Amino acid sequence: MNTGNLSLSQAPPYWSVVIYFLTAPFFSFLFSLLMLFKGNIVFVTFYNYPLIAFVHLITIGFLSMVMIGAIMQMMPVIGGAVISKPVFFSAIIYILLFLGILSILLYFLTLQKFIALFAMFFLYSSLTFFAVVSLYKLLPLFLTNYSMRSFSLSLFSLLILVLLGVIMLYKRVSGFSFNLQPGLLNLHIAWAFSGWIFLLVVGVSIQVIPMFYVTPEYPDNVKKWFPVMVFILLILYSSGQFVPKNIYGTWSQTLTFLFSFFFGFFSLFTLIQLNRRKRKLPDYSLWFWRTSMISLFVFSVALMVYSFQERTGSKWTIGLPLLFIAGFAYTLVNGMLYKIVPFLTWFHLSNRGIFNIPTMKGVVTDGQIKIQFYFHLSFLILIALAILSSNRKAFYLAFIFLLISSLILFVNLFSGSMVYHKIVKRGSNTAG
Amino acid sequence: METISEILTKDHKRIDDIYSEVENFIVKKSWDEAGLKVSEFSSALNNHLQAEEECLFNEFERKTGNTMGPTQVMRMEHDQMRQFVTQISRAITEKNYSACAGNMETLMILIQQHNMKEENMLYRMCDQILSDIQEKIIMQIKERIS
């Protein structure tokens, strides 16, 4: 066996991943700002151009930014999968992705065709390059490492959803006519929600929850088969094209029901896991986990109801994606950042052989995390009220809270990274 | 028969459990119990680290001829853990809650990311590379961790 490739210390350099984590709150800040000024279109129709653009600030700008940074960080630790030129890899993807997010925003705001071409190029090249390189590194672990299996399926989903997104953009600018049975948009959303986001969360959870919170393990069968079954459901959902028209309704309804069952099962199981934790030290990241899993559970129930009788109206068309994106995914990613950034800061300082460095709680304090959590929770409660009661005041207030919450998140992470910067600088000055 | 991976992974869980008990005494500010528990934790952890370094890593290095690879990183992280345990014991003696909490949390994540690397990679490699002397190694490990 060749051990030469296995270097357990090859964590990517500090700034090459932290830059992704620091950029994410910028996009959620921008999103809140745009929603405050232009967001009232939500009350007219959900599927409109500016809103599509704004939503991508969160799904790509916030969620995918952090998820990509976290995958780069976790691959060597969980799977021993090391990218050989991490700074180059990270920089290329970061720049292309950043430009891609700005171009998709500009395109949907201006509807200038040439900007769509830029958006297609930047987003397709960055996300596909990232997914292909990561898959190349992770696929050898598919059979033996269940967490990495879920990561791989999540990355496959990313490839598919990006392709679908680009096809939709291309259709829009070229007039090219092409569609599939559940609709390109439905497919794009399904692969994004159930594939890219959900499967990555599953992969992280089965590895991280038992270890970080000292809970019992997820059962072996869940670890082995759950991600594969979700992926199979996605493939079945995508093959609607080949299902006879007379049974398509039942087919699609059954699959939506099954998806909701899987979301519900996972959220409940994870909530139970978190309650069985042996550690009792107050840990605010747990609040984010719990809020996230409760949101996913509510989402699963709402989706189940929806699967029996397709509903219309903003309560459903806005409420469902909101529960998933804001309640489940955003909350979880936000909470994970408070584990990742402080640990990376400590880890990289310690590996430089610097003594007297702060612990994780000295990098971002519990007090800082608590305040931001309350702002985030207030946002979730207010936006839920706004949607349920069509109350515009609650709607605007919600985005003021998200605006402040993103700002505090940025300040918390930035001040954490400055701890690293100052100590390294101090160390090199002393050495010099 | 149990493999090297299985025995050491099981020991990780046992140490995690003792760790949680130390933490829970600290949360309750039961400093005397925390002091006793941290000694138990310290010896369980040290025995584990020593078993790895003396019985496993040495053999791995001998077999692969590689002393600057993964085992070197693991040894370095072991030293970081030992430093944390010293700091935590001192913070418990001084009844300093915030120093305890900060050091415990960081040690926890350090241990867990370290365990992931060992369980997912290094142990599996050892199971394969050292299969011919597995019985001998397991006996030595068991002597040290039990």
What does the pLDDT read at residue A43? 66
Residue of A nearest to B26 (CA): A281
Exposure string for A315-338, b = 16+ CB within 10 A, e = fewer: ebbbbbbbbbbbbbbbbbbbbbbb
B127 touches A: beta carbon within 8 Å: no
What does the pLDDT read at residue A2? 40
Binary contact (A6, B16; C-beta < 8 A): no
The average pLDDT across A141-168 equals: 94
Structural domain contains residue A330: yes
Interface test mutation site (partner A, options B37, B60, B121, B131, max chain A beta carbons within 10 A): B121
The range of the structural domain enclosing residue B111 comes to 4-145
Binary contact (A279, B110; C-beta < 8 A): no
CATH number at residue B102: 1.20.120
Interface test mutation site (partner B, options A360, A363, A370, max chain B beta carbons within 10 A): A360
B86 touches A: beta carbon within 8 Å: no
Model confidence at A272: pLDDT above 50:
yes
* Per-residue pLDDT reduced to its tens digit, A52-75: 889 999 999 999 999 999 999 988
pTM more than 0.80: yes
Angle subtended by helix axes A198-212 and A245-275, to nearest 10: 20
Model confidence at A4: pLDDT above 90:
no
Q: How close is the nearest chain A Cα to the Cα of B44, in Å?
A: 17
Domain boundary among A109, A141, A173: A141
Q: How many domains does chain B have?
A: 1
Residue of A nearest to B60 (CA): A3
What is the band of A7 on the pLDDT scale with cuts at 50, 70, 90? very low
Binary contact (A3, B69; C-beta < 8 A): yes
Q: Which residues of A touch B128 (CB under 8 A)?
A: 1
The range of the structural domain enclosing residue A106 comes to 9-141
Structural domain contains residue A184: no
CA distance A223 to A235: 20
pLDDT one digit per residue (tens) for chain B, 146 residues:
789 999 999 999 999 999 999 999 999 999 999 999 999 999 999 999 999 999 999 999 999 888 778 899 899 999 999 999 999 999 999 999 999 999 999 999 899 989 988 998 899 999 999 999 999 999 999 999 87
DSSP assignment string, A159-226: HHHHHHHHHHHHHHHH------TT-HHHHHHHIIIIIIIHHHHHHHHHHHHHHHTT-PPPPHHHHHHH
C-alpha to C-alpha distances, A167 to A85, A117, A160, A256, nearest whole angstrom: 31, 11, 11, 24
A214 touches B: beta carbon within 8 Å: yes
DSSP assignment string, B42-64: HHHHHHHHHHIIIIIIHHHHHHH
What is the band of A317 on the pLDDT scale with cuts at 50, 70, 90? confident
Q: How close is the nearest chain B Cα to the Cα of A57, in Å?
A: 31
- Nearest by CB to residue A359, choosing from B76, B106, B116, is B106
Q: How close is the nearest chain A Cα to the Cα of B25, in Å?
A: 9
CA distance A169 to A235: 22
What is the band of A9 on the pLDDT scale with cuts at 50, 70, 90? low
Percent over 90 (pLDDT), chain B = 86
What does the pLDDT read at residue A245? 86
Q: How close is the nearest chain B Cα to the Cα of A9, in Å?
A: 6
What does the pLDDT read at residue A307? 86
Model confidence at A378: pLDDT above 70:
yes
Residue of B nearest to A211 (CA): B112
Structural domain contains residue A343: yes
Structural domain contains residue A299: no
What does the pLDDT read at residue A293? 98
Rounded to the nearest 10 degrees, how much is the dihedral formed by the CA atoms of A286, A292, A293, A298?
150
Model confidence at A137: pLDDT above 50:
yes
What does the pLDDT read at residue A48? 77
Interface test mutation site (partner B, options A208, A211, A343, A352, max chain B beta carbons within 10 A): A211
Q: How close is the nearest chain B Cα to the Cα of A230, in Å?
A: 24
> Using CB atoms and an 8 Å cut-off, which of residues 126-165 of chain A contact chain B?
144-145
- Supply the ipTM of this predicted assembly: 0.83
Do A194 and A161 meet the contact criterion of CB atoms below 8 Å apart?
Answer: no
Structural domain contains residue A90: yes
CB neighbour class for A426 (10 Å; exposed up to 12, middle 13-18, buried from 19): exposed
* Per-residue pLDDT reduced to its tens digit, A69-118: 999 998 888 777 888 899 999 999 999 999 999 999 999 889 999 999 99
Angle subtended by helix axes A331-351 and A366-389, to nearest 10: 160
Q: Taking all residues of chain B, what is their mean pLDDT, rounded to a whole number?
A: 93
The average pLDDT across A296-306 equals: 95
Higher pLDDT, A329 or A349: A329
Model confidence at A139: pLDDT above 50:
yes
End-to-end Cα distance, chain A: 43
The average pLDDT across A258-282 equals: 94
What does the pLDDT read at residue A78? 78
User: Beta-carbon neighbour count of residue A15 at 10 Å?
Assistant: 16
DSSP assignment string, A225-259: HHHHHHHHHHHHHHGGGGS-HHHHHHHHHHHHHHH
Q: How close is the nearest chain A Cα to the Cα of B144, in Å?
A: 24
* Per-residue pLDDT reduced to its tens digit, A411-426: 999 999 999 999 998 8
Q: Which residues of A touch B102 (CB under 8 A)?
A: 358-362
Q: How many domains does chain A have?
A: 2
What does the pLDDT read at residue A46? 62
Among left, alpha and beta (phi > 0; psi -120 to 50; other), residue A391 is beta
CA angle B125, A69, A87 (to 5 degrees): 80
CA angle A10, A12, A16 (to 5 degrees): 170
B83 touches A: beta carbon within 8 Å: no
Do A209 and A132 meet the contact criterion of CB atoms below 8 Å apart?
Answer: no
A350 touches B: beta carbon within 8 Å: yes
